[in-house]
A and B are shown apart, each in its own frame.
Chain A
Amino acid sequence: MQQDRGALKSRGMASLWEYANPKRFMQVSAVLLPWMAGLSALCLVVGLVWGFFFTPDDFRQGSTVKIIYLHVPSALMAINAWLMMLVTSLIWLIRRHHVSALAARAAAPVGLVMTVIALATGAIWGQPMWGTWWAWDPRLTSFLILGLFYLGYIALWEAVENADTAADLTSVLCLVGSVFAVLSRYAVLFWNQGLHQGASLSLDKEENVADVFYHPLLVSIAGFVLLFVALVLLRTRTEIRQRRLQALLNRERMA
């Protein structure tokens, strides 16, 4: 949402909030969606092919290191999807823009899938490295908990019939859940120091992975970000159409 809104703003439109209007959103997203999807496919193909076939093996980890091109971007997006849901939930609670609430709803399953990919690739990577598919390592555990938060959030959306009620309740859950997700992160660190390597990406150049791995990783991350934006746009469009359908049915009932 942040990304596409930013993109829209650069086109010289008057107010950011115009795109919170469902009709306007549909118009603009119809134009944006193919571009986002195409760019994302391009970035993913370039990033993954480059990463898998044109980088050397790591001197310690061998070729297993190459799963980083799926693992890191998906983990990044798993967290960013929740952050986006937090922002859009706040926008819904404060300014009552329906598109914002629907975008949050649309992002949740995407975020959950990203979490699952991160966990699965982590397990596949962890097996040869640590000799076990699963370890109660703080990072893995935190992502598992994040996955549970996604599940609860999605389940609440599904359970509440009235759309506005559901949007309100899930937004409150998202806010509270965010606080508890951070709390859980620190609690888990306290609970087990873990064997996960440090952050793969950081501003401190010393700790970064080597450049040969780094550049394709950036492309791959860009691909995941674009993929996320495209999926969220697509799903938000579906949600809006669903609401239109519901509105039509309501109208028919009242006519």
Chain B
Amino acid sequence: MIALLRRDLAIATRAGGGFGLGLAFFLVVVVLVPFGVGPETSVLTRIAPGVLWIGALLACLLSLDRMFALDYEDGSLDLLATAPIPLEGVVAVKALAHWLTTGLPLTLMAPLLAVLLNLPPQGFVWLVVSLALGTPALSVIGAFGAALTVGLRRGGLLLSLLVLPLYVPTLIFGAEAARRGAEGMEAGTPLALLTGISLGCAALMPFAAAAALRVNLR
């Protein structure tokens, strides 16, 4: 399992691994928002938590289709499926690797971008905490979507269609926590619910994803 994690991290961070693309995408999306809604600081301050959450979510989505597709195409997944590691473990490790290479960097980058959107000072902590607690759910749910669409030629688009509705609860609680934090309100409840979703997804989604992978490997 650790070997798999180290391999996936190595592949992701080396040339052509796509690491950094998600971050760049996040940056571009956030930079584009003021062009769309106008430069008024009060407006930007109001929408900053939501925009940052949606930007992070879309950036997360961007690299999902590679999660299993590469291993599927080059036959690695066949050998992994017959390896002594359970396929559920493979899914969990790959989701963790995805989070370490996208969710975590996005979380760390969000405060920098928050400056561009005039997020009030008290909102920074809540933004980072909500992203740190919420992005793991995005990775695990995404792993399920990636497992469903792994054998398909044009899986990327379908993956978005399948995964985005599943992201609704995570987005609602995550963005709500960030928003309440930014407005100086109590943000504990949405954060607790967000954590619950992340934990629940991390515990259960690998089983669904592994089931889908087994079907696709047949």
Q: Is B164 an interface residue (CB 8 A)?
A: yes
- Cβ-defined contact, A173 with B197, below 8 A: no
Q: A165-B216, A176-B166 are in contact. Are A155 and B208 (CB under 8 A)?
A: no
Residues of chain A within 8 A of B165, CB atoms compared: 145, 148-149, 152, 177, 180, 184
Chain A interface size band reads 20 to 34
- Cβ-defined contact, A187 with B173, below 8 A: yes
- Cβ-defined contact, A169 with B158, below 8 A: no
Residues of chain B within 8 A of A160, CB atoms compared: 151-152
Q: A168-B215, A183-B169, A191-B176 are in contact. Are A176 and B161 (CB under 8 A)?
A: no
Q: Pick the most buried of A156, A165, A176, A187: most chain B CB atoms within 10 A of its CB.
A: A176
Assembled-state Cα–Cα distance A187/B166 (Å): 12
Assembled-state Cα–Cα distance A155/B205 (Å): 21
Residues of chain A within 8 A of B152, CB atoms compared: 159-160
Q: Is B144 an interface residue (CB 8 A)?
A: yes
- Cβ-defined contact, B161 with A151, below 8 A: yes
Q: How far is the CB of B135 from chain A (nearest CB, A)?
A: 17
Residues of chain A within 8 A of B162, CB atoms compared: 152, 155-156, 173
Q: List 16 additional contacts besides A165-B218, A187-B173; criterion CB under 8 Å.
A: A145-B165, A156-B158, A156-B162, A160-B151, A160-B152, A165-B151, A169-B212, A169-B215, A172-B208, A173-B148, A176-B208, A180-B165, A180-B169, A183-B169, A183-B197, A187-B169
The 22 sampled A-B contact pairs (Cβ below 8 Å) are A145-B168, A148-B165, A152-B158, A152-B165, A155-B162, A159-B149, A159-B154, A159-B158, A160-B151, A160-B152, A165-B215, A169-B215, A172-B212, A175-B208, A176-B144, A176-B208, A186-B169, A187-B168, A187-B169, A187-B193, A191-B172, A191-B176
- Point out residues on B near A: beta carbons under 8 Å: 144, 148-149, 151-152, 154-155, 158, 161-162, 164-166, 168-169, 172-173, 176, 190, 193, 197, 205, 208, 211-212, 215-216, 218
10 pairs of A and B residues whose beta carbons are closest in the complex: A187-B169, A148-B165, A187-B172, A168-B215, A183-B169, A152-B162, A184-B168, A191-B172, A180-B166, A152-B161
